[in-house]
Amino acid sequence: MLFVVLAEIAILIPSLANFRHDYLDSRLERAQIASLALLATDESLAADLESELLGNAGVYNVVLRRDDIRRLVLSSPLPAPIAATYDLREPRFWTLWADALRLLAAPENRIIRVIGAPVKQAGQLIEITMDSAPMRTGMIDFGLRLLAVSAAFAIMTAVVLNLAAQRLIVRPISRVISHMTAYATAPDDVRRIIEPSASMAEVREAEQALAAMQRTVTASLKQRERLAQLGQAVAKISHDLRNVLSTSQILADRLEDSDDPGVRRTAPKLVGSISRAVNLCETTLAFGKAEEAPPQLSLFNLSGLVAEVIDAERLAADSAGDAPPITFVSDIPASLTIRADHDQLYRVLANLSRNARQAIEATRKPGTIRIDAGEDETGWWLRVCDTGPGLPEKAQAHLFQPFTGGIRKGGTGLGLAIAADLVRGHGGRLELQRTGSDGTEFLLHLPRSPRRAEAA
pLDDT of residue 3: 77
pLDDT grade for 32, boundaries at 50, 70 and 90: confident
Report d(CA 58, CA 200) in Å as an integer.
59
**Residue 362 belongs to what H/E stretch?**
helix 342-363
Categorize the per-residue pLDDT at 348 as very low, low, confident or very high, splitting at 50, 70 and 90.
very high
Helix axis angle, 93-105 relative to 2-41, nearest 10°? 100
The better pLDDT of the pair 177, 261 is held by 177
Q: Which pLDDT band holds residue 290 (cuts at 50, 70, 90)?
A: very low
pLDDT digits (tens, 9 = 90+) for 89-122: 887 888 888 888 888 888 899 999 999 888 776 6
Question: What mean pLDDT do residues 250-256 have?
Answer: 65
Task: Output the pLDDT for position 225.
Answer: 77
Q: Which residue has the higher pLDDT, 145 or 255?
A: 145
Give the least confident one: 59-63, 248-252, 297-301.
Answer: 248-252
pLDDT value for 456:
47
- Listed in order, the ranges of the chain carrying CATH 3.30.565.10 are 294-455
**Are the C-beta atoms of residues 427 and 379 closer than 8 Å to each other?**
no
Q: Which of 394, 335, 324, 322 is nearest to 359 (CA)?
A: 324
- Residue 174 binned pLDDT confidence (cut-offs 50, 70, 90): confident
Rounded mean pLDDT, 398-407: 64
pLDDT given for residue 232 in this prediction? 65
Does the structure show a pLDDT above 50 at 294? yes
pLDDT, residue 267, reads 72
Average pLDDT value for residue range 236-245? 61
Residue 18 has pLDDT above 80, yes or no: yes
Residue 349, pLDDT above cutoff 80: yes
Question: At residue 384, does pLDDT exceed 90?
Answer: yes
Q: What would be the CATH architecture of the domain defined by 294-455?
A: 2-Layer Sandwich (3.30)
- pLDDT, tens digit (0-9, with 9 covering 90-100), for 355-369: 899 889 888 889 999
Mean pLDDT of the 407-418 span: 63
Continuous segment of H or E residues that includes residue 454? helix 450-455
| Residue spans of beta strands (DSSP E) within 30-136 | 61-66, 69-74, 82-87, 111-116, 125-131
Judged against a pLDDT cut of 80, whether residue 233 lies above it is answered with no
User: Using an 8 Å Cβ cutoff, are 398 and 428 in contact?
Assistant: no
- Name the pLDDT band for 52 (thresholds 50, 70, 90): confident
Predicted confidence at residue 171, as pLDDT, reads 85
Q: Give the SS3 label for residue 168.
A: helix
